[in-house]
């Protein structure tokens, strides 16, 4: 299983023996955590001049494998070969010495330092720092790979996509020949993802070996030369980039997956249930981040707020829950004003809320599954009598929800922090959907969630819509928007640029997300157009790098 | 619907047994015991090194090692023997231990409860002082009927501590003041307040020029069991521990306290009021520390007589309480056990000093060592190999919520 992508299927029969003379090879890598086998006898060949996609769900063992490769974990069994000769990698320093570079999902950059300073970091060597040389390195590499990075820019001032390029530069400055990208697209906007793809192609064309870890099928098919699918810690096969998404998903999840959300046409109520009128919100620094926004969500429909991260969606969601005060305007739920109320009153009025950052806001990690399932109803009947908690009811509720939402947990007393991302999100959603709602606000409901769970979460969101709830979803993933929305509200700089039907082309949505008015966007990229017919950038009043 | 295609590779449905099997914190227990043993080992070395007699025998260790070893064993054995005899060696010592432990348990609970809400309550000292002022004032100046007098005095002390603690919560919730700074400062204020009050006509004993109050009435003093030092205050301490356990584990208020302590953002997103929870927690924590002050003011002296209010009435209870809570991993049961341990060290230390001529400061060193080893689990793990295999889970919220921040 080397350069030639074979048809999908277990490939263990082929002789795993001789590692190739050039490139990086893993043979029989096994890593156990207690009784859990995170990697089981994994063979992998990483060849220069290729983009090798490592595809697998969250928790499949991709990151573990790469951490073994990068010296952050030591394998229990198996051997790593560089250019045909066995190596032992005990720490990242040795990995770097072997030509392995890692671009972490969470950047390892000092934000207040400049790009060049970050490059020097950790390689100070003597007392004198050669900033001049670092600057030159940045400029040279940047030119060679068309990175467009200013060596003297402060990292904190750079957009996320450019920060990521600084990470790549750091690896390249160490003469990395094997570049590992750990879920690099999770933090990027659609445009930035395209730019990253170009960068990866440029790296490949320069003869680097690129390892791209992801669970997003669209990206894999777009860029991979070789695909290796990992499921439950083992290589289940290799696939050709021309395989259909459904086939890749099936390999990854281990069963047929329905990628299209199965939903009936919406039957919206006559009156809007959730109504925002002239809503403005300021952030902590006093900047207006939501600007005089009007939006109606009817019962029985899903409205998706699409937009590039940082255009006021997060603050809008906060304002709906009441954790951020409105500077002007009002929000009503079934005709009752909820703006100016406390989160508790708003929740009790029937607003369900799935926060954007579930680790931070969605649950208490050290609390058990059972406790988290009543996090916002613990003080009400039937879970409480006065100030006394009814532990029996709380546990019964947990048993029911765990079954109903297929939450994979050892027991209901397991701390939620030890669950996978998808199951953590199921806990959050199960909690919100288990009480009668007038409206549900869900931010990035499937971020960091694997395919199998996404399918389930989407179907539950549609199910909630069909119960007559007004559903407002904030998402930066256009695939998700297209799959779920009955109407799409595109948000740009705190305003709704326009509300369009869900079958609007990606190009038109992309233009609107860059601030192009709805008429112009639709004219430039007509509905249902075929992909990528030059999306007429001349109409854009904002250059692409202007959106942050 | 698409879910129908799922072959439902179910999570194992939890059995009744698995559900009710709460993990017993064996790792914590082992680590604590190991810390205890290590502390005593180091304590023994300190004793040997600091004793001139024993040390002189080590000068000819290689000629006659037995001399040095026997002298060391005698010294250490004698001191620890006295320590044990003075703390658990019979009815008298045991009751003395309970008397010493009662205020430590109460104040420790105050610190532990705050820890659970993510608050570092350094102010148990000040809260205890306020408790003792209130309780003693009612005790020596109100002259109520027996029974009622004690009850009112106890409640007054609890209110005093609650006000002092609640003030901290209010300042933090309302003005964003950091509780560590505020509690430290309020400790000074409380100590100063006590000093001042003892010079006023309301508090100073008539005819005295030194800062001391009238003696508390018999009717407001904790009755004690015949023949020992065990008094009603210890029962109150245990009762308080049970109440704190119930509050934390079985009440909605405690649920909010724990949620706010573990993840205030998620708690706020779920609609809990972090500000309100902070005020409530600090008020209850203050009430518990106030009860410790009550113990000091209304507990009988060694000879069984009521005591007056004086400047040093609460000693260093409020500071020892932090250690007790830390040692007890911020759980009510742990705090009771840690309080008893420290009570025993206090009681046994006195005996050790008089019987084995070992300075009382050694018990202080022992306490410090125990805490040191408990607070540094990594060190204990390294020193005691068998703990290593079981370390796994992090301990309670103390290290993460309290010390590291």
**ipTM beyond cut 0.85:** no
- A423 shares a domain with A313: no
Are A23 and A94 within one domain?
yes
Residues B163 and B290 in one domain: yes
How far is residue A471's CA from residue A445's CA, in Å, rounded to a whole number? 12
Q: How would you classify residue B111: left for phi > 0, otherwise alpha for psi between -120 and 50, otherwise beta?
A: alpha
> Three-state DSSP class for A76?
coil
Written as one string, the DSSP assignment of A9-65 is S--TTS---PPPSSSEEEEEEEEEETTEEEEEEEEEEE-TT-EEEEE--TTSSHHHH
B195/B160 Cα distance (integer angstroms): 16
A311 pLDDT tier (thresholds 50, 70, 90):
confident
CA within 13 Å, CB half, A482:
15
Same domain membership, residue A216 and residue A116: no
Within-domain flag for B94 = no
Task: Determine, for residues B11 and A408 on separate chains, whether the beta-carbon distance falls below 8 Å.
Answer: yes
Residues A291 and A200 in one domain: no
B14 lies in a domain? Answer: no
Distance CA A461, CA A452 (A): 15
The string over B95-134, giving b where at least 16 C-beta atoms fall within 10 Å of a residue's C-beta and e elsewhere, is: bbbbbbbbbbbbbbbbbbbbbbbbbbbbbbbbbbbbbbbb
Residue of B157, B164, B178 whose CA lies nearest to B240: B157
Contact B317, B59 (CB under 8 A): no
Q: Residue B381's pLDDT is what? A: 67
The reported pLDDT for the residue numbered B24 is 66
| Residues A157 and A118 both lie in one domain | yes
Measured between beta carbons, the chain A residues lying within 8 angstroms of B1 are: 262, 459, 463
> Residue A485: inside a domain, yes or no?
yes
Number of domains in chain A: 4
pLDDT higher than threshold 80 for residue B396? no
| pLDDT score of A127 | 54
Do residues B84 and B156 share a domain?
Answer: no
Helix (H) or strand (E) holding A521: helix A518-524
Shortest distance between the Cα of B243 and any Cα of chain A, in A, equals 12
Inter-chain contact B252–A387, Cβ cutoff 8 Å? yes
pTM of the full predicted structure?
A: 0.76
User: Is residue B5 domain-resident?
Assistant: no
Nearest CA in chain B to A456: B3
Contacts with A391 from chain B: Cβ below 8 Å:
250
Mean pLDDT of chain B: 85
The answer to whether position A339 is within a domain reads yes
Query: Tokens 């009521």 identify what position?
Result: B306
- Is residue B323 domain-shared with residue B339, that is, in the same domain? no
* pLDDT, tens digit (0-9, with 9 covering 90-100), for A59-118: 678 878 888 998 888 899 999 999 988 999 988 888 988 999 988 877 888 888 888 888
Cβ neighbours around A523 below 10 Å, total: 14
**Do B347 and B365 lie in a common domain?**
yes
- Spell B326-361 as b/e; 16+ CB within 10 A means b: bbbbbbbebbbbbbbbbbbbbbbbbbbbebbebeee
Distance of alpha carbon A352 from alpha carbon A349, whole angstroms: 9
CA distance A506 to chain B (A): 25
Q: Looking at the complex, does the CB of residue A344 fall below 8 Å from at least one CB of chain B?
A: yes
Share of chain B above pLDDT 90, in %: 52
Shared domain for B78 and B112, answered yes or no, is no
Identify whether residues B347 and B311 lie together within a single domain: no
* CB pairs A-B closer than 8 Å: 113
Total Cβ atoms within 10 A of residue A89: 22
| Domain presence at residue A422 | yes
Give A103's strand partners. A181
Cβ contact, residue pair A389, B263, below 8 Å: no
**Together in a domain, A139 and A230:** no
Q: Which domain holds residue B71?
A: 26-89+335-405
Write out the two tokens for B183: 């509690």
Closest Cα in chain B, distance from residue A363 (Å): 5
* B285 to B120, B160, B187: CA distances (angstroms): 11, 12, 14
Taking only residues 411 to 470 of chain A, the set having a beta carbon closer than 8 angstroms to any beta carbon of chain B reads 411-413, 455-456, 459, 463
One domain, residues B291 and B253:
yes
CB atoms B252 and A371 under 8 Å: no
Indicate whether A264 and A340 sit together in one domain. yes
> What CATH number has the domain bearing residue A444?
3.40.50.300
CB contacts, 8 Å: A388 with chain B? 250-252
Instruction: Kindly state whether A404 is in contact with chain B, defined as any CB-CB distance less than 8 angstroms.
Output: no
Copy the structure tokens of residue B365: 């060193």
* Residue A363 in this model has a pLDDT that exceeds 60: yes
Last residue of a domain, one of B327, B361, B382: B327
Count of structural domains within chain B:
2
- Residue of chain A nearest B6, judged by CA positions: A255
CA distance to partner chain B, nearest, from residue A81 (Å): 32
- Final residue of a structural domain among B327, B349, B374: B327
pLDDT bucket at A453, cuts 50 / 70 / 90? confident
> The domain containing residue A145 runs over which residues?
111-173
Whether B97 maps to a domain, the answer reads no
CA-based nearest residue in chain A for residue B394? A366
Among A152, A173, A194, identify where a domain stops: A173
Q: Is residue B98 domain-resident?
A: no
Same domain, A164 and A302: no
Contacts of B262 in chain A (CB under 8 A): 364-367
Select from B299, B309, B333, B335 the least CA-distant residue to B320: B335
Mean pLDDT across A152-173: 85
What would the pLDDT profile of B147-183 be if each residue is shown by its tens digit?
A: 999 999 999 999 999 999 999 999 999 998 999 999 9
Burial of residue B298 (CB within 10 Å: 0-12, 13-18, 19+) is: buried
* Domain-embedded: residue B107: yes
Which residues of B touch chain A, with CB atoms under 8 Å apart?
1-3, 5-8, 10-14, 18-19, 21-22, 250-253, 255-256, 258-259, 262-263, 265-273, 397
CA A177 to chain centre: 27
State whether B289 and B156 are in the same domain: yes
Q: How far is A409 from chain B (nearest CA, A)?
A: 6
Residue B3 lies in a domain: no
Residue A38 has pLDDT above 60, yes or no: yes
Which class for A10: exposed (0-12), middle (13-18), buried (19 or more C-beta within 10 A)? exposed
Nearest to B127 by CA among B277, B295, B300, B310: B295
In this complex, which of A355, A389, A406 lies closest to B250 when CB atoms are compared? Answer: A389
Last residue of a domain, one of B277, B304, B327: B327
- For residues B296 and B357, the model is more confident at B296
Give B185's pLDDT tier (boundaries 50, 70, 90): very high
| Cα separation, A342 vs A288, whole angstroms | 21
User: Which of B2, B6, B271 minimises the CB distance to A376?
Assistant: B271
Residue A410 dihedral angles phi and psi, to the nearest 5° = -65, -55
Question: Do residues A462 and B2 lie in contact, with contact meaning Cβ atoms separated by under 8 Å?
Answer: no
Identify from B4, B7, B14, B176 which residue to disrupt to test chain A contact, counting A C-beta atoms within 10 A and taking the largest count.
Answer: B14
Each residue of A317-356: pLDDT tens digit? 999 999 999 999 999 999 999 999 999 999 999 999 999 8
Strand order in the sheet with A209-214: A100-103, A178-182, A209-214, A51-55, A226-231, A234-239
């Amino acid at each position: 299983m080397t350069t030639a992508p074979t048809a999908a299927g277990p490939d263990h029969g082929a002789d795993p023996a001789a590692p190739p003379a050039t490139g990086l090879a893993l043979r029989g890598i096994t890593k156990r955590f207690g009784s859990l086998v995170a990697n089981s006898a994994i063979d992998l060949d990483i060849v220069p001049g290729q983009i090798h996609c490592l595809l697998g769900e969250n928790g499949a063992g991709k990151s573990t494998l790469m951490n073994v490769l990068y010296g952050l974990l030591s394998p229990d069994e198996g051997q790593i070969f560089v250019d045909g000769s066995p190596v032992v990698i005990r720490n990242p320093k040795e990995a770097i010495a072997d030509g392995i570079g890692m671009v972490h999902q969470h950047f390892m950059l000092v934000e207040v330092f400049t790009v060049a300073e970050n490059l020097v970091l950790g390689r100070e060597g003597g007392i004198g720092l050669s900033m001049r040389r670092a600057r030159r390195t940045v400029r040279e590499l940047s030119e060679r790979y068309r990175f467009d990075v200013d060596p003297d820019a402060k990292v904190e001032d750079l957009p996320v996509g450019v920060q990521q390029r600084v990470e790549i530069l750091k690896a390249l400055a160490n003469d990395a020949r094997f570049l590992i990208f750990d879920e690099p697209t999770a933090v990027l906007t659609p445009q930035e993802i395209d730019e990253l793809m170009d960068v990866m192609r440029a790296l490949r064309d320069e003869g680097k070996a690129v390892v791209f870890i992801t669970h997003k099928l669209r990206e894999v098919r777009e860029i991979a030369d070789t695909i290796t699918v990992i499921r439950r810690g083992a290589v289940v096969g290799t696939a050709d980039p021309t395989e259909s998404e459904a086939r890749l998903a099936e390999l990854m999840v281990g069963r047929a997956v329905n990628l299209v959300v199965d939903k009936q046409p919406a039957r919206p109520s006559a009156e809007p249930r959730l109504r925002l009128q002239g809503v403005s919100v300021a952030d902590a620094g006093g900047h207006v981040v939501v600007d005089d926004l009007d939006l109606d969500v009817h019962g029985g429909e899903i409205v998706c707020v699409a937009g590039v991260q940082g255009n006021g969606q997060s603050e809008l969601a906060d304002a709906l829950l009441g954790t951020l005060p409105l500077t002007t305007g009002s929000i009503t739920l079934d005709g009752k004003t909820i703006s100016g109320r406390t989160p508790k009153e708003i929740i009790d009025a029937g607003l369900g809320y799935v926060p954007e950052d579930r680790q931070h806001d969605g649950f208490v990690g050290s609390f058990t599954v059972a406790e988290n399932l009543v996090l916002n109803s613990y003080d009400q009947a039937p879970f409480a009598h006065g100030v006394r908690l009814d532990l029996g009811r709380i546990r019964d509720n947990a048993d029911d929800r765990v079954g109903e939402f297929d939450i994979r947990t050892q027991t209901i007393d397991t701390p939620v922090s030890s669950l996978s991302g998808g199951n953590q999100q199921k806990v959050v959603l199960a909690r919100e959907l288990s009480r009668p709602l007038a409206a549900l606000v869900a931010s990035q409901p499937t971020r960091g969630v694997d395919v199998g769970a996404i399918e389930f979460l989407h179907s539950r969101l549609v199910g909630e819509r069909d119960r007559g709830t007004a559903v407002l979803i904030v998402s930066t993933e256009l695939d998700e928007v297209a799959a779920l929305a009955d109407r799409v509200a595109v948000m740009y700089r705190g305003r709704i640029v326009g509300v369009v039907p869900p079958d609007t082309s990606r190009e038109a949505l992309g233009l609107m997300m860059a601030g192009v008015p709805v008429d112009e966007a639709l004219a430039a990229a007509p509905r249902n157009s075929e992909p990528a017919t030059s999306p007429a950038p001349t109409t854009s009043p904002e250059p692409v790098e202007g959106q942050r | 619907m698409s879910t129908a295609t799922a072959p439902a590779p179910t999570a194992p449905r939890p059995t009744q047994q698995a559900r009710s099997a709460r993990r017993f914190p064996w790792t914590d227990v082992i680590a604590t015991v190991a810390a205890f043993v290590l502390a005593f080992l180091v304590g023994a070395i300190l004793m040997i090194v600091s004793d001139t007699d024993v040390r002189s025998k080590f000068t000819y260790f290689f000629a006659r090692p037995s001399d040095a070893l026997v002298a060391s064993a005698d010294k250490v054995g004698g001191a620890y023997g006295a320590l044990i005899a003075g703390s658990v060696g019979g009815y008298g010592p045991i009751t003395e231990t309970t008397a010493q432990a009662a205020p430590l348990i109460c104040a420790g609970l105050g610190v532990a409860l705050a820890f659970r809400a993510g608050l570092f309550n350094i102010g148990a000292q000040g809260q205890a002082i306020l408790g003792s002022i209130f309780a003693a004032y009612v005790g020596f100046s109100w002259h109520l009927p027996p029974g009622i007098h004690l009850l009112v005095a106890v409640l007054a002390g609890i209110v005093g501590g609650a006000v002092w603690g609640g003030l901290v919560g209010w300042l933090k919730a309302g003005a964003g003041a950091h509780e560590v700074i505020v509690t430290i400062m309020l400790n000074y204020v409380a100590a100063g307040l006590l000093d001042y009050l003892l010079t006023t006509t309301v508090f100073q004993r008539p005819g005295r020029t030194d800062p001391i109050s009238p003696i508390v009435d018999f009717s407001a003093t904790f009755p004690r069991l015949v023949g020992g030092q065990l008094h009603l205050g210890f029962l109150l301490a245990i009762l308080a521990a049970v109440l704190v356990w119930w509050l934390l584990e079985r009440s909605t208020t405690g649920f909010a306290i724990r949620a706010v302590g573990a993840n205030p953002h998620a708690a706020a997103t779920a609609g809990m009021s972090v500000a309100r929870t902070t005020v409530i927690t600090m008020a209850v924590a203050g009430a518990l520390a106030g009860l410790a002050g009550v113990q000091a003011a209304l507990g009988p002296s060694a000879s069984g007589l009521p005591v007056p209010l004086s400047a040093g009435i609460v000693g260093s209870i409020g500071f020892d309480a932090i250690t007790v809570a830390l040692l007890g991993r911020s759980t009510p049961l742990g705090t009771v056990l840690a309080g008893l341990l420290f009570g025993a060290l206090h009681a046994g230390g006195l005996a050790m000093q008089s019987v084995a001529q070992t300075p009382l400061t050694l018990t202080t060193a022992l306490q410090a060592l125990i805490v040191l080893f408990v607070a540094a689990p990594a060190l204990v793990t390294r020193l005691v190999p068998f703990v290593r295999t079981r370390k796994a889970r992090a301990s309670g919220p103390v290290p993460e919520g309290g010390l590291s921040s």
